[in-house]
Amino acid sequence: MINQDQIIIIYGGKTGWIGQKIVELLKVKGVQYYISECRLENRESILKELDEIKPLSVINCAGVTGRPNVDWCEDNKQETIRSNVIGTLNLIDCCYLRSIHITNFATGCIYKYDEKHPMNSGIGFKEDEEFNYFDSHYSVTKQMVETLTKHYENNTLTLRLRMPISENLNEPRNFITKITKYEKVVNIPNSCSVLPDLLPIAIDMTIKQIKGVFNFVNPGVISHNQILDLYIQHVNQTFKYQNFTEEEQSKILKCGRSNNHLDTSKLESLYPLIPNIKNSIENIFLNLKK
240-258 b/e (C-beta count within 10 Å ≥ 16 → b):
ebeeeeeeebeeeeebbbb
How many residues are given for the chain? 290
Peptide bond preceding 68 in cis form (omega within 30 of 0): yes
Residue 2: other Cβ atoms inside 10 A: 17
Q: What is the pLDDT of residue 2?
A: 42
Amino acid symbol at 8: I
Given a cut of 90, whether residue 99 has pLDDT beyond it is yes
Contacts 24+ apart (CB under 8 A), 11-15: 11/36, 11/38, 11/40, 11/58, 11/59, 11/60, 11/61, 11/62, 11/91, 12/60, 12/61, 12/62, 12/63, 13/59, 13/61
Q: What is the pLDDT of residues 27-43, one digit of tens each?
A: 999 999 999 989 999 99
Mean pLDDT, to the nearest integer, of 227-231? Answer: 96
Using pLDDT thresholds of 50, 70 and 90, give the confidence band for residue 1: very low
Mean pLDDT, to the nearest integer, of 92-107? Answer: 97
What pTM, to 2 d.p., does this model score? 0.94
- Rounded percentage of the chain residues whose pLDDT exceeds 70: 92
Q: What is the pLDDT of residue 76?
A: 82
Instruction: Please tell me the distance from the alpha carbon of residue 232 to that of residue 234, in angstroms, as a whole number.
Output: 6
Instruction: Please tell me the distance from the alpha carbon of residue 131 to that of residue 198, in angstroms, as a whole number.
Output: 23
Radius of gyration of the chain (CA): 19
Q: What is the pLDDT of residue 34?
A: 96
The residues near 73 (Cβ < 8 Å, ≥ 6 apart) are 64, 65, 66, 80, 136, 137, 138, 141, 255
Using pLDDT thresholds of 50, 70 and 90, give the confidence band for residue 137: confident
Tell me the domains of the chain and their CATH numbers: 8-164+195-220+262-274 (3.40.50.720)
The pair phi, psi for residue 152, each rounded to 5°, is: -120, 40
Instruction: Please tell me the distance from the alpha carbon of residue 156 to that of residue 170, in angstroms, as a whole number.
Output: 33
Mean pLDDT, to the nearest integer, of 177-195? Answer: 92
Strands 222-223 and 189-190: antiparallel
Torsion angle in degrees (nearest 10) through CA of 233, 234, 240, 246: -80
38, HSE (Cβ side, Cα atoms, 13 Å): 23
Nearest in space to 56 (alpha carbons), one of 91, 94, 5:
5
- Which region among 156-160, 171-175, 208-212, 263-267 has the lowest average model confidence (pLDDT)? 171-175
> CA separation (Å) from 130 to 143, 241, 244, 267?
10, 35, 29, 19
Nearest in space to 65 (alpha carbons), one of 9, 17, 135:
17
Coil, helix or strand for 154?
Answer: coil
- Which region among 74-88, 203-217, 223-237, 272-286 has the lowest average model confidence (pLDDT)? 74-88
> Quick one: how far is CA 171 from the chain centroid?
16
Is the separation of the CB atoms in 182 and 125 below 8 Å? Answer: no
* Averaged confidence pLDDT in the chain: 90
The residues near 89 (Cβ < 8 Å, ≥ 6 apart) are 145, 148, 149
Is the separation of the CB atoms in 8 and 55 below 8 Å? Answer: yes
